[in-house]
Structure 1
Amino acid sequence: MKRTITAAVLERSGDQARPYSTHRPLALVELELDDPRPGELLIRIDAAGLCHSDLSVVNGDRPRPMPMALGHEATGIVEALGSKDDTLFAVGDRVVLAFLPACGECVRCVSGEDYLCPAGAAANGEGRMLRGGHRLHRAGGDVHHHLGVSGFATYAVVDRRSAVKIDRDVPAEIAALFGCAVLTGVGAVMNSAGLRAGESVVIYGLGGVGLAALLGAMASGGVPVIAVDPVAAKRAIAEQLGAVAVAPGEVAAAIARLMPGGADVVIETAGKAAVLAEAYRAGRRGARIVTVGLPNPAEMLSIPAVSLVGEGKTLIGSYMGGSIPARDIPRYIALWRSGRLPVEKLLTSVSPLGEINALLDKLADGDAVRQIVRP
């Protein structure tokens, strides 16, 4: 049995002129959605966040097969189970959707590194489901899935390993944030960097992931924390959260004043090789530099090779914040409930799905942190 849904579909990437509100690269179209197969869930989407990773598919920085139904940071309600004997999920459960469907069986998964699952990465790169094939169709062929979620839609079929059950009382617009921004940003600080109380931190880029990293640094006792972004409104949010916020040209002076010799931990979220090179220089001897940004694949990083040994620095790539969603999403939600992780500060707006192209413009212009769409 197939169900007719509405989804935001990108027909081609890399050739979409601005403004997006005029050229409308994402079209709301009707698609056919298959029933979930064994090991999958049917989800009624309640809310989805617009992330720079979505924009990177639109503008061609992240090549993906087309056409593709976008959206990877989402929450919703379980409507149907692909496996009737599923003991973890039930119809009516609220779930947060994570953007890497780990197989649970490979060396990486059984080693506790689900976020590095090669089967999940291959499925995401090919725009298909973890268990093979596509569940989205229209006349003329299949429509590719975005990171196993395709959350800019009324319904989605996802692998059960992409879903984490949470309490129903978490508001949908808050719950969605935990699927990417919080999972990636907070995870980069707590998991990948292993920040210890009292260590100094510099964070480059204050989008949704960067500000989530700032929340994670404050919750972990980082001090002092310098937050860097060219947009004054984002720096103002960072200051409200307790950071010393500076424009890019002011970083060196702030580090010299507050953390002579450099930072213990540096987090780079901008997704630019030049920014990552600067972030690397901002670390002291023995610093841990963590990058979660996704540059265009053509960008290359240049750093003094001798510094890795001579200065004892560690450069860490952090995918999904080194998080295990089933473990970390409940943990981060508990911190939110306690007031130690005020993720609502990331929320810029809540809008109908039909406004998604105009929201892309705000994201591209740096005028938004996290915009939520409701189908």
Structure 2
Amino acid sequence: MSTVGKVIVCKAAVAWEPNKPLKMEEIQVAPPQADEVRIKIVATAVCHSDLYHLLENRNTDGFPTVLGHEAAGVVESVGEGVTEFQPGDKVIPVFLSQCGECRFCKSPKTNQCVTAWTRIHQDLMASVESRLSCNGKRLHQFMGTSTFSEYTVVHQTAVAKIDPNAPLDKVCLIGCGISTGYGAAVNTAKVEPGSTCAVFGLGAVGLAAVMGCKSAGAERIIAVDIIADKFEKAKVFGATDFVNPKDHDRPINQVLADMTSGGVDYSIECAGKVEVMRSALESCVGSWGVSVIVGWTDVCDVAVRPGQLVAGRTWKGSVFGGFKGKVGIPGMVQAYLDKKLKLDEFITHKMTLDQVNDAIDLMKQCKCIRTVLTVCQQ
């Protein structure tokens, strides 16, 4: 029976309040309105940004919400005015959408979109509009996507059409973490062949940054983390050295300076801690080093002495790896299909949507890289 134009009743994992387990609920997903696309989610992964909102967000007005933003699925129906997509298309929702018309979208210097941020309450990390509800109560739509649900409705500027041959339970990772780390090296840092790099933090994003450095031709890639067991995995993605700050009684930037005759050419911070951000900057060679902040936090400020920058270091930030979502995601999917990009190696656990709290616990305990949840059958 066709669901087009009808409210869909389906399962979703609802976060009713912060720092509490998600609850599987029967929710209602309204039909897409003008310029919107309703998507059947086939697979979604748990990203640290989901945990951050659930555990550390100080604004309780962002609840109840349906989390999830790293996913892939199939178009179920489209709203008025949508011509780019049709039912049956394989797609990836994009948390950083791309209108293609604003000043930012037309500039090659950024992947931001002015129009996109008018559709998001940035303090709530949720869409201004939401087609999701439960028992008559509106559910916030996290990052404009909300993929811990069997169905979701996304604005067409936040959807990327992908190769119909792509395995959705693998390429879902491209929707956030892998693109974020890989692009930070390739697009933002612009790592050069023969260079020396340091990556701080070896979660999925950090490992993807290692992979990006390797793809860009870096000769030496130093992986930095306080968990020694992560090095074996980092080697899979191209790391050549491992440094555990706990093994040294000196600041890590001094350790790296001694290892590299004065500092690395590029450093990429993927830990989301301000003290690590500063260490990553100071680990770069003073005259031309480039350091990129990827990790996210808004609970404290980061500070550095001006002398660390005056001599020539560059400090940059990167969101979604500098990729313009609608055009960047299909290219990353194609790279995976062409065996130029690793994805399978990131997946350490596979579960179903109703096991989402178990997946969250694994990430909280640093016992996984990525857990992929099966949501709907394709």
**Alignment match, 2:93:** 97
| C-alpha deviation, 1:254, in angstroms | 6.0
Q: Distance in 1 between matches of 2:23 and 2:94?
A: 24
| C-alpha deviation, 1:237, in angstroms | 0.4
Structure 2, unpaired ranges of 5+: 1-5
**Alignment match, 1:159:** 155
- 1:239–1:245 contact (8 Å) kept in structure 2: no
Q: TM-score, normalised by structure 2?
A: 0.90
| C-alpha deviation, 1:119, in angstroms | 3.7
CA RMSD of aligned residues (A): 2.0
Per-residue displacement from partner, 1:117-171 (whole Å, max 9, x unpaired)?
2442353324554xx5221112342110011110011011111121111122221
- 1:5–1:155 contact (8 Å) kept in structure 2: yes
| C-alpha deviation, 1:253, in angstroms | 7.3
| C-alpha deviation, 1:198, in angstroms | 1.3
| C-alpha deviation, 1:224, in angstroms | 0.2
**Alignment match, 1:331:** 331
Alpha carbons of 1:102 and 1:329: their partners in 2 closer, same or farther (altered >3 Å)?
Answer: closer
Alpha carbons of 1:278 and 1:151: their partners in 2 closer, same or farther (altered >3 Å)?
Answer: same
**Alignment match, 1:74:** 71
1:228 and 2:224 equivalent?
yes
User: How many residue pairs align between the two structures?
Assistant: 361
**Alignment match, 1:198:** 194
Per-residue displacement from partner, 1:31-85 (whole Å, max 9, x unpaired)?
11110112111111010110100000111247461111100101000111113x6
| C-alpha deviation, 1:111, in angstroms | 2.0
1:10 and 2:18 equivalent?
no
**Alignment match, 1:19:** none
**Alignment match, 1:149:** 145
**1:1-375 correspondence runs (5 A):** 1-13=6-18, 16=19, 25-61=21-57, 63=59, 65-83=62-80, 86-112=82-108, 115-124=111-120, 125=122, 126=124, 128-129=126-127, 132-243=128-239, 244-249=241-246, 251=252, 255-256=256-257, 258-285=259-286, 286-295=288-297, 297-309=298-310, 311-375=311-375
- Larger mean Cα displacement after TM superposition, 333-342 or 141-150: 333-342
Q: Distance in 1 between matches of 2:165 and 2:58?
A: 35
- 1:195–1:265 contact (8 Å) kept in structure 2: yes
Q: Amino acid of the residue matched to residue 244 of structure 2?
A: A
Q: Amino acid of the residue matched to residue 201 of structure 1?
A: C
- 1:97–1:162 contact (8 Å) kept in structure 2: yes
Q: Secondary structure at the match of 1:239?
A: helix
Q: Distance in 2 between matches of 1:134 and 1:127?
A: 12
- Larger mean Cα displacement after TM superposition, 200-209 or 165-174: 165-174
Q: Amino acid of the residue matched to residue 335 of structure 1?
A: A
- 2:272–2:296 contact (8 Å) kept in structure 1: yes
**Alignment match, 2:3:** none
Q: Amino acid of the residue matched to residue 121 of structure 1?
A: W
- 2:94–2:326 contact (8 Å) kept in structure 1: no
Q: Amino acid of the residue matched to residue 374 of structure 1?
A: T
